[in-house]
Amino acid sequence: MIVALGWRGVWGMLGSRFARFASFAYRPHTVIHHLRELRDRDVERHLGHNPLGAMMVFAFLGVLSAIAVTGVIALGGMLKQGPAHAFLSYATGIQALQWHNLLAYLVLAMICLHLAGVAYESWRGHENLVAAMITGDKAGLVEEASVVPVRAHPLGALATGLVAVTLGVSTVVQLSGRPAPLVPPVVTDPVFAEQCGACHLAFPANLAPASTWAQIFQDLQHHFGANASLAPDQVATARHWLAANSAEHWDTLPSHILRTPAPDGSLRITDSPGWRARHHAITASTFAAKPIYRSSNCVACHADAASGMFAPQNIAIPPLKGPNSPAP
């Protein structure tokens, strides 16, 4: 959409006569005059956009640009992806997402208004605007024909577009490569990774609050039905790693939604309200089926689980192989 908007911007300055912004940047009083004409059924013809249609074009360009900007802000703030990820907080991203959604509904409303406007103008102005939109032709007026035509500059527009794309892509690549603050480290403590990763995924520390991690170490002998006892020095290392990197320390989406522990005191990540809210649509039989086996097997569906990021583009429920295969 950003590319389409950018191209319309270039074509609005270097395009053909009726595509140029200057040809339909009407003054407010012209718009009001046009409304009066519609009321009186005596509408002056416009070979390009009529004043109301022109207002709609600018409104669309504005709202679609705002959707693009809020999208980039939401992507950067919430998911720590894209060109804005190094500068924005999760809270800013959430706010931008709300605007982003609201604006999407606004565009739907504008589309309805626009279609209604086309129908109304066609009827009141005795002009088939839909046909004109498809063919690009309207029967001209004599005085219009004598106006010196404004020439389009397709090569100039293409060159401007290419320069803009090159600058845009290199800026995005450069900005996307910046380190984002408050994103958990990729490298985990080796002792923690080996000891707490012996039986299951070494759950990234940002998936639970410090209080949950501390309580897990209170009884490793009775650890969710398994004996996970470790040597004292290993316990100390793992405990320190988890405390120092728990959910409260980071600004990522998983660390925000999973930092609230289960209200009933359960120490499972999969019992936390944030986890439940995101997975309520997945049935127990899906979690139980091969090759998932249990809801705590995050990697089965989240290819990037080990990084603690859980990005939407890395989510895929694998093909299920039936419930009767025994769990490993």
Which residues of this protein are in contact with ligand HEC, per CB under 6 A?
195-196, 198-200, 203, 207, 216, 223-226, 228, 238, 253-254, 257, 268-270, 278-279, 282, 286-287, 292, 294-298, 300-302, 310, 312, 315, 317
Smallest distance, Å, CB 159 to ligand HEC?
39
Smallest distance, Å, CB 213 to ligand HEC?
7
Estimate to the nearest angstrom the gap between the alpha carbon of 245 and the chain centroid. 27
Smallest distance, Å, CB 252 to ligand HEC?
9
CA–CA dist 286, 11 (Å, integer): 51
CA–CA dist 71, 54 (Å, integer): 26
Kindly report whether the peptide bond that precedes residue 291 is cis, defined as omega within 30 degrees of 0: yes
Give CA torsion, residues 177, 180, 186, 190, to 10 deg: 130
| Of 211 and 286, CB closest to ligand HEC | 286
Say if CB 24 and CB 48 are below 8 A apart.
yes
CA–CA dist 245, 39 (Å, integer): 67
Query: Cβ atoms within 10 A of the Cβ of 41, count?
Result: 10
| Of 10 and 216, CB closest to ligand HEC | 216
Smallest distance, Å, CB 209 to ligand HEC?
11
Place of tokens 């309805």: 112
CA–CA dist 302, 308 (Å, integer): 10
| Of 140 and 318, CB closest to ligand HEC | 318
Smallest distance, Å, CB 302 to ligand HEC?
5
| Of 51 and 76, CB closest to ligand HEC | 76
User: Which tokens hold the place of 102?
Assistant: 């609201």
C-alpha radius of gyration, the chain, whole number: 29
| Of 160 and 188, CB closest to ligand HEC | 188
Distances in whole angstroms, Cα of residue 110 to Cα of each of 7, 64, 105, 114, 309: 21, 11, 9, 6, 36
| Of 131 and 316, CB closest to ligand HEC | 316
CA–CA dist 194, 216 (Å, integer): 17
Smallest distance, Å, CB 1 to ligand HEC?
21
| Of 42 and 194, CB closest to ligand HEC | 194
CA–CA dist 42, 31 (Å, integer): 14
CA–CA dist 40, 29 (Å, integer): 16
User: Which tokens hold the place of 65?
Assistant: 């640009």
Smallest distance, Å, CB 296 to ligand HEC?
3
Smallest distance, Å, CB 108 to ligand HEC?
22
| Of 57 and 311, CB closest to ligand HEC | 311
